Amino acid sequence: MNLDLNLFDSEEIIAKALKGERPFPDEAIHLCVEGELLAMGAAADRVANLLNPEEHVGYGLAKTVIYSNVCQPQCPFCSGTVTWDHPDAFTKSAEQVVAEVAEAVSGGATQVFLQGGHRIDLDWSYYPGLVRAIHERFPHLQLFAYSPTEIMVFNVAYQKRTSEVIHELVDAGMGGLFAGGAETHQTRGPEYRALLRGPWNEWFDIVHRSADAGLPVIVPFVFGLGESPRERVGHLYRVRAVQERTTAMKRPAFAAVAVFTLPEGRPAAGAELPPAVSSQEYLRMLALARILLPNIRHLQSSPTSQGARVAQVALNGGADSLGPIYLGETAGGAVSPDALTALIREAGRTPVKRDRW
């Protein structure tokens, strides 16, 4: 049965959300498809100001270190990955990774995201070894090591429970988790979304175990990969449920939501991509995330997705964070620290450098 979205009233749904009531899923889908952008942005701004009344906008200086480009699955976010026997395959040593981090630290980086492919041919000691090498050299850095989908592979390849993996990584110096991969845990999906698929309960378990270990978790809201409005809303409601559950246990999992789309023009991994997300749709989805996730304090807009100016507009439409600025990267909407802080001030907000979540 098709859902008649005309039966819903956007203003009533928004008013319901602002009173602290949870919209029904079909009401949220109506906002996702038919919601009026200005009204949703204004409501999202109210939620953001209630959570962060100082009107500070946090930003971070970060470095993404790709320790290996070897991976079996392909996805549009990792179009450069290859199989282990490809002539362009690489796996960096701990010394190479530390040298790369050192260069970023000299440029002001205080956060590092350690990412690579899904592989089972390396010894387990390689993974905590990278974390330990970085942490021992730069103990002040907040290190977001690996992702839930990588940890799922660790569970299988090395016969380790999630709690064991998290414990060993935290002991080595892991300081946070970027919880990507949830957007791939759908019951359907074309080939270009063929990133490792695992059941949602495994993703949940990794997030819960990270919260148990006291790690701040950044959860991305990634869209524009061909998913339906129902799938977008379902993702947000699952994230909300995890935050409710972990908050009830006095260990709220998510420190922030990061809103992303695939940057226009970025190549797919051997497959045709859906149409690029417009700026209006990006801002509507960002506002929707802020309205539906009032139990997560921070919401981050990405200059890489739609450019710096759209990210700036988002500061009056639900976002209270920008970036982070990935040092050494020039693609997409990459901006300099000075340009980013100028954008924040132009939006009437106060920039605050965030060294840690």
- As a whole number of angstroms, the distance between CA 205 and CA 5 comes to 34
CA distance 246 to 339: 37
Q: What is the pLDDT of residues 160-175, one digit of tens each?
A: 999 999 999 999 999 9
Which amino acid, residue 224?
G
Domain membership flag for residue 1 = no
Taking 90 as the threshold, does the pLDDT of residue 351 lie above it? Answer: yes
| Helix, coil or strand: residue 18 | helix
- Other CB atoms within 10 A of residue 339 CB: 13
> How many domains does one find in the chain?
1
63 token code pair:
């470095």
Q: What is the pLDDT of residues 160-213, one digit of tens each?
A: 999 999 999 999 999 999 998 665 444 334 433 334 344 678 888 999 999 999
Indicate whether 28 belongs to any domain: yes
How high is the pLDDT of residue 268? 47
Question: End-to-end CA distance of the chain, in Å?
Answer: 44
Examine residue 63 and state whether it is found in any structural domain, yes or no: yes
What is the domain range of residue 33?
23-353
How large is the average pLDDT for residues 126-140?
97
| Backbone angles phi and psi of 49, in degrees to 5 | -70, -30
CB atoms within 10 A of CB 337: 17
CATH code: domain of residue 305: 3.20.20.70
Task: Specify which residues 258 forms β-bridges with.
Answer: 220, 300
